[in-house]
Amino acid sequence: MPAELKPANPTLSARIRKGFPSAERVFSLDIDFSAAPGFTILFGPSGSGKTTLLDCVAGLATLDAGQIAVGERILFDANAHTNISVAKRGVGYVLQDLALFPHLTVEQNVEYGLAHLPRAVCKRRAAAMLQDFRIEHLQRQRPAEISGGERQRVALARALVTDPCVLLLDEPLAALDAATKSKILDDLRRWNQAHRIPILYVTHSREEVLALGERVLVMEQGRIIAQGTPHEVLRAPLQETVAQLAGFENIFDATVESVHEDRGTMLCRITTRRALGGETGSSLLLETPLIRAEAGSPLRVGIRAGDILLAIVPPTGLSARNVIPGNLVSLEQRDVIVSVRVNCGIEMEAHLTLAARDTLGLMPGKEVWLVIKTHSCHLMQR
Amino acid sequence: MSINWQAFGLTIELALVVSAILLAIGLPLAYWIAFSRWRWKFLVEAAVALPIVLPPTVLGFYLLVALGSRSPLGRWWQSLTGHTLAFTFTGLVIGSVLYSLPFAVQPFAASFSSVDRKLLAASATLGASPLRTFFRVVIPLSVPGLVTGVVLAFAHTMGEFGVVLMIGGNIPGITRTVSIDIYDQVQASNYAAANAMAVLLLIFCFAVLTVVYALHRRTPKQESWTIGPVN
């Protein structure tokens, strides 16, 4: 993009209102945010509107109302009827499944956005970018002939070579293994230090949030429900989405059964939601830390799967206050951990090592006991 | 063997001209059909498909009326050139273009529609105009459909009979195509001559289709083109 179009202070600011009337559900985006140069992470469950938000910034989706600007440059303004076309926005966008041009070589893909430049300049800039992202040896290959990680690099290079004023990345590393991921993140971070532009980075992955996060926006149902540094957002996980971000695999609705100020604990009864609304109490009681709450008040309990111990005989002589009998439902190996699901009135997820699985001889149907410390039960509002 | 090379050459010329015109007008029309969000688009699609189901005589009849000296179009053409469009090669071309239109436009539109919309979005975010996106992304990824459309239009024009009979008549060197010639020879009980022309047309059409299908063998590979991270 020509230098004169590039605002001096390129902060992305957006006020986005967009409704999607559909037969099944009414969904709307209602978002105000600004993103300074550097990484801004968009985190949230699927269907929370992250991709639509990126589409609005890129101009692929049109807002009902609101404004989008980069520095002083207005990309969209509903009141002023300003709507700069996608092609003229100068926004780099790496779509979720990359959308590399399958009939063009790696080099041609990267040169695609430079067609307005003289041939020699175009070649030079594309070559430099291929080198920066360590894909110059692939320049004659087509997307189908290279690996997933290489394709990610091509997609990034293709978007960045145009020198965009904002970069949108929609789960760019979702399909990659950890090692490839961290190498690409390094390259991206290095690039970002040289070109300070706002980068909106959508991800489901907690690791990516923590690795990249200068700032996190947590989205749920088209709204931003929390924002700040990853540390700030994670320190007080008050909402369920944030709790998932903080790594609570087990999140249950509960009501306070009794308060024991003398012991510094409470008893909470786990409740399950009924199909037609309302809740029923289960037989499961958890001892949790004491908070300011009265008996009967609703709250939510989050327990990390890694904080749960598993025993195959009834354990005794423990300091942990919650020992819950149940039946093992399933085991699933993920990388080097084993995720087990245990039915103890409700289903809980616990993480074990491979060695623990083998030593304990775990298999579906086996009777087990879950051991949970009082302070491993994190309470949230609802 | 008495082969009417004049009729054969004329038929090929007609088919080539019609295919070229259909390529030129079929691309924008198919693009509009594939990408327009106009709510009444289905009316246009139905109109384009009409020649598939209509008897050629119906199309030929209306063309004859429309091109004749009593219609405004026919009069305008006559004032311009001094003769009517009916019973001329140009009239034949116009009739054949309409008659073969769906055979070109439908494969074009189908292949345009099957181009992943995300590629179009990516192209736009990289600064490409819709026209550039069309020529750099949509067309290259639609080549099999374009070839199919042009070949179908060509073959369909080679073999047409009813429309030619209605608006072209049977003027040697101008409107007497192979199928008309065969019909004529059969009417005159010249079965040997009819057979010679029929065999020639059969061999030629088979050869053209063979070449096209042989070239098409590459398509399954192209259909598995990868655009994303799936590995």
Burial profile B65-77: b = 16 or more Cβ within 10 angstroms, e = fewer = ebbbeeeeebeeb
Selected residue with higher pLDDT from B85 and A133: A133
Residues B37-75 have pLDDT tens digits of: 888 999 999 999 998 888 888 888 888 888 877 888 888
Q: Is residue A36 part of a domain?
A: yes
Q: Is residue A133 part of a domain?
A: no
Same domain, yes or no, for A52 and A172?
yes
Residue A298 clears pLDDT 60, i.e. is over it: yes
Averaged over A11-25, what is the pLDDT? Answer: 81
d(CA A220, CA A244) in angstroms, rounded, equals 12
Q: What pLDDT shows up at residue A101?
A: 95
Averaged over A164-176, what is the pLDDT? Answer: 87
Minimal Cβ distance to A87: which of B124, B227, B228: B124
Q: What pLDDT shows up at residue B32?
A: 94
Probe site for chain A from B126, B224, B227 (most A CB atoms < 10 A):
B126
Flag if B228 and A91 touch (Cβ within 8 Å): no
Q: Is residue A282 part of a domain?
A: yes
Provide CB contacts within 8 A for B227, sequence distance 6+: A97, A98, A99, A100, A101, A102, A143, B116, B118, B119
Q: What is the 3-state secondary structure (H, E, C) of chain B?
A: CCCCHHHHHHHHHHHHHHHHHHHHHHHHHHHHHHHCCCCCHHHHHHHHHHHHHCCHHHHHHHHHHHHCCCCHHHHHHHHHHCCCCCCCHHHHHHHHHHHHHHHHHHHHHHHHHCCCHHHHHHHHHCCCCHHHHHHHHHHHHCHHHHHHHHHHHHHHHHCCCHHHHHHCCCCCCCCCCHHHHHHHHHHCCCHHHHHHHHHHHHHHHHHHHHHHHHHHCCHHHHHCCCCCCCC
Residue A256 clears pLDDT 50, i.e. is over it: yes
The whole-chain average pLDDT of chain A stands at 85
What CATH number is given to the structural domain containing A218? 3.40.50.300
Number of domains in chain B: 1
Q: What pLDDT shows up at residue B127?
A: 92
Residue with tokens 């053209």: B208
Residue A206 clears pLDDT 90, i.e. is over it: no
Same domain, yes or no, for A67 and A188?
yes
Q: What pLDDT shows up at residue A173?
A: 82
Q: What pLDDT shows up at residue A327?
A: 93
Minimal Cβ distance to A103: which of B126, B127, B141: B141
Number of domains in chain A: 2
Question: For chain A, how big is the Rg over CA atoms in Å?
Answer: 25
What CATH number is given to the structural domain containing B210? 1.10.3720.10
Flag if A93 and B118 touch (Cβ within 8 Å): no
Q: Is residue A95 part of a domain?
A: no
Local confidence band at A244 (pLDDT 50, 70, 90 cut-offs): low
Of A64-68, A162-166, A168-172, A232-236, which range is least confident? Answer: A232-236
Using CB atoms within 10 Å of the CB of residue A329, give its burial: 0 to 12 exposed, 13 to 18 middle, 19+ buried: middle
Minimal Cβ distance to B227: which of A90, A91, A98: A98
Q: Does B122 touch chain A (CB under 8 A)?
A: yes
Residue B220 clears pLDDT 50, i.e. is over it: no
Residue A175 clears pLDDT 80, i.e. is over it: no
Q: Which residue, of A213, A246, A279, is where some domain finishes?
A: A246
Residues A85-110 have pLDDT tens digits of: 999 999 999 998 889 999 999 999 99
Q: What pLDDT shows up at residue A277?
A: 60
Residues A302-358 have pLDDT tens digits of: 888 888 999 999 998 888 889 999 999 999 888 788 999 999 888 899 999 988 888
Same domain, yes or no, for A47 and A186?
yes
Flag if B125 and A151 touch (Cβ within 8 Å): no
Residue A1 clears pLDDT 70, i.e. is over it: no
Selected residue with higher pLDDT from B211 and A234: B211
Q: Which domain holds residue B149?
A: 5-55+88-216
Q: Which residue, of A212, A246, A280, is where some domain finishes?
A: A246
With H, G, I as helix, E, B as strand and everything else as coil, classify residue A83.
strand
Q: What pLDDT shows up at residue A367?
A: 92
Q: Is residue B35 part of a domain?
A: yes
Local confidence band at B223 (pLDDT 50, 70, 90 cut-offs): very low
- Chain A's closest residue to B124, CA to CA, is A87
The alpha carbon of residue B136 is apart from the nearest alpha carbon of chain A, in Å, by 9
Selected residue with higher pLDDT from A114 and B167: A114
Q: Which domain holds residue A178?
A: 3-90+164-246
Same domain, yes or no, for A371 and A225?
no
Flag if A98 and B119 touch (Cβ within 8 Å): no
Q: What pLDDT shows up at residue A3?
A: 47
What CATH number is given to the structural domain containing A314? 2.40.50.100
Residue A2 clears pLDDT 60, i.e. is over it: no
Flag if A103 and B118 touch (Cβ within 8 Å): no
Averaged over A179-192, what is the pLDDT? Answer: 83
A88 CB neighbours in chain B (<8 A) are 127
Task: Say yes or no: ipTM exceeds 0.90.
Answer: no
Q: Is residue A144 part of a domain?
A: no
Q: Is residue A140 part of a domain?
A: no
The alpha carbon of residue B23 is apart from the nearest alpha carbon of chain A, in Å, by 22
Averaged over B7-22, what is the pLDDT? Answer: 92
Q: What pLDDT shows up at residue A7?
A: 47
Averaged over A15-26, what is the pLDDT? Answer: 77
Residues B114-130 have pLDDT tens digits of: 999 999 999 999 999 99
With H, G, I as helix, E, B as strand and everything else as coil, classify residue A57.
helix
Degrees (nearest 5) of the Cα angle A182, A184, A188? 115
Same domain, yes or no, for A44 and A59?
yes
Averaged over A60-69, what is the pLDDT? Answer: 91
Task: Tell me phi and psi for residue B46, to 5 degrees.
Answer: -65, -40
Of A138-147, B15-24, B58-67, B210-219, which range is least confident? Answer: B210-219
